[in-house]
Structure 1
Amino acid sequence: MKDLAKYSRESAKNHALAQPSQVLPQVQLVTISAEEAGQRIDNFLIRVCKGVPKSHIYRVLRSGEVRVNKGRIDQTYRLQENDVVRIPPLRLAEKSTQTVPGCEFTILLEDDCMLVIDKPAGVAVHGGSGVSYGVIEQLRASRPDAKFLELVHRLDRETSGILLLAKKRSALTNLHEQIREGAFDKRYLTLVHGDWQNQRQHVKLALHKYTTSEGERRVRVQADGQASHTVFQLLRKYGPYALLEAELKTGRTHQIRVHLAASGFPIAGDDKYGDFALNRALQKAEGGRKALKRMFLHAHQITFTHPGSGKEVRLNAPLPPECANFLKSLEHSSSAVADDVMANRAATKGQAATR
């Protein structure tokens, strides 16, 4: 375990991008401490074995090479205090000359336990899936003396807003426990297209994650998927658009996006589950309406119990300027937008008919 811990410290210090190369030569037996308990085994291995490709970690989990108390487990197993984890020899990564640029983000709260930032749209929270690095790698690079810094939860790359990071293992464990117990209150602002009627609406649709033939992660509504629940509150209408607040009762991948799309109300600018003709029309400024070149989904409020003080914390992040200005411009041009969308759809159908 000393070899793993040493490599982990060196990796966190240098933050180099990597390609698979070296191999940790021997089996390690690790006893789980009270602070480490409660984590999923896959997340534990990803944190402890920094520099090992995630694909390799999941491969050894599936093959049964990773054991807990001498027994096989799957990747969702949650570690308990005094569990003995068998870690097989793992392929490490050799450092390259390309390093992660340090970057700081707008801070909403920072203390000894945690760091809360306002993440801009277009920035991934971590590297992977074609992205070399994300928020966590950039923050570690800008804070080389930080002993511990981990994501508490995630936001889609296209989503802006509140993102929590833990600065202590005990804080991370506490916050994860709150998430599992449903004690977090996370709310998003989103703009959808369609004639939204209800002031308050519950959407309960089971969601299933899958991977496309191109290797892209997607989610669809499926009867045998994970139970998922979102509550939507109507805040204001802008012609054929509605500004909603989405309250997450569960935290599934792409939950808000898929729940809205499946209900017939695609999010403006959503390039995975949205209305593509609408998105093309919105990318151009027309008749006083500003262009929208991002997905209109923003994590604007979060409420939780502070892991150190035990007091309730409620944080807010205002709509970013590109979203706020777009809403203002919609007040005078919603009918023009609808005309643009219909014209775009008609043109698309005409092209299809001539093929």
Structure 2
Amino acid sequence: MSAAPSTPAVQFVTVDEETAGQRLDNFLIRTLKGVPKTHIYRIIRSGEVRRNKGRVSADDRLQAGDVLRLPPVRISERVAEKASHPAPARQFPVVFEDEAFLAIDKPAGVAVHGGSGVSFGVIEQLRQARPEARLLELVHRLDRETSGLLLVAKKRSALKALQDQFRERETGKTYVTLVKGLWPGNRKVLDQPLHKYLLPDGERRVKVVPADHPDGMRSVSLVRVLHPVPVPAVLALAYPEGLTLLEVTIKTGRTHQIRVHLASAGHPIVGDDKYGDFELNRQLARLGLKRMFLHAWRLRIKHPVTGVEMELQAQLPVELQEWTHEGNKH
């Protein structure tokens, strides 16, 4: 489906099989990007939106073959400006792809989508690089500084099926990370509620809260020690316990979950600029580690169409591999 043009004009849209089953309001919110929701509900209530020449309600489900008449609407100046300066086309390394979805290996430092001071992200660049794609939608999110597996749906039905798996915690998401200090091998389960809050400047943060906190969201991370990693020799006196390479599987997908759980346990992720040890980060950056060491390594899902169980893996990026050796060369 094409988005609304910047100049007002009547549109006639035929609902296809992929769109069938959606509520009218949800369809219009996606189609008329930049049009306020209040205005969308107003044009539905007033009868300006017609289905097969008749009136239609916001909660009516669309059927394949329905013809929708959409009245002239103006999109916001911000959206019009964004349309006139599209994101640069960029392809990303593909781990898996078929007609339903693709899995890419997202590099660190790239946001998954535009917003919050970022004009574009992975999804906008991917859409520009694949203009023939009828649909490309993010299935889930990764922090900007986290690298690794990211799923993008190519069909609305695949998007729903995959998001249902994430919502029902039926996926297995495993990350590889390097943390400060020697992680105790017997500490395998972190079951601590998390709470989102804002700093005075409006920046988002997350913290561990008591089990009885009214706004705490249950969050579970499973930790497995891979092996200890010594710090470079020049840091050995300051950090005698060195570092630990961990495998972390999350059973819930909360914002900053792994970062906050590990930092709260006294073992922050190296390179983490929000919850980390800033002096250690500074020293390691001087020695070449200039990013957060958190990589979405493995993802277990069921194929959204066939139901076949799949295991996807994205190899550690080169800039992280050299920091994983038990006999660190630095």
TM over 0.5: yes
Residue 186 (str. 1) matches residue 173 (str. 2): yes
Letter in structure 1 aligned against 2:317: P
Letter in structure 1 aligned against 2:81: K
Superposition pairs of residues 100-179 of structure 1, within 5 angstroms: 100-179=87-166
Q: CA offsets, 1:211-263, max 9 Å, x none? A: 22222222112233111111011111113111111101000011000111111
* Residues 219, 236 of structure 1: alpha-carbon distance in 2 compared, 3 angstrom cutoff: same
Q: CA deviation at 1:205?
A: 1.2
Q: CA offsets, 1:165-214, max 9 Å, x none? A: 00000000111111121111110000000221125511111111122222
Match of 1:86 in 2: none
Q: CA offsets, 1:28-49, max 9 Å, x none? A: xx9xx76437xxx9x8776344
* Residues 205, 80 of structure 1: alpha-carbon distance in 2 compared, 3 angstrom cutoff: farther
* Residues 204, 34 of structure 1: alpha-carbon distance in 2 compared, 3 angstrom cutoff: farther
Asked whether the equivalents of residues 186 and 303 of structure 1 are also in contact (C-alpha less than 8 Å), the reply is yes
Asked whether the equivalents of residues 22 and 61 of structure 2 are also in contact (C-alpha less than 8 Å), the reply is no
Match of 1:36 in 2: 22
Residue 251 (str. 1) matches residue 248 (str. 2): no
Match of 1:18 in 2: none
Match of 1:347 in 2: none
Asked whether the equivalents of residues 229 and 326 of structure 2 are also in contact (C-alpha less than 8 Å), the reply is no
1:95 corresponds to which of 63, 73, 81: 81
CA distance in 2, matches of 1:276, 1:23: 52
CA distance in 2, matches of 1:124, 1:109: 20
Q: Which runs of 5+ in 1 are unaligned?
A: 12-21, 70-78, 84-88, 286-290, 334-355
Letter in structure 2 aligned against 1:318: Q
Higher-helix-fraction structure: 1
Residue 230 (str. 1) matches residue 221 (str. 2): yes
Superposition pairs of residues 1-355 of structure 1, within 5 angstroms: 6-8=2-4, 35-36=21-22, 47-52=30-35, 82=61, 92=76, 93-95=79-81, 97-199=84-186, 201-222=188-209, 223=213, 224-239=215-230, 240-285=242-287, 291-328=288-325, 331-333=328-330
* Residues 332, 180 of structure 1: alpha-carbon distance in 2 compared, 3 angstrom cutoff: same
Question: SS where residue 7 of structure 1 aligns?
Answer: coil
CA distance in 2, matches of 1:230, 1:209: 17
CA RMSD of aligned residues (A): 3.3
TM-score (norm 1): 0.71
| Identity in percent | 49
CA distance in 2, matches of 1:259, 1:180: 20
Q: CA offsets, 1:69-94, max 9 Å, x none? A: 9xxxxxxxxx98849xxxxx885332
Q: Which runs of 5+ in 2 are unaligned?
A: 46-57, 63-72, 231-241
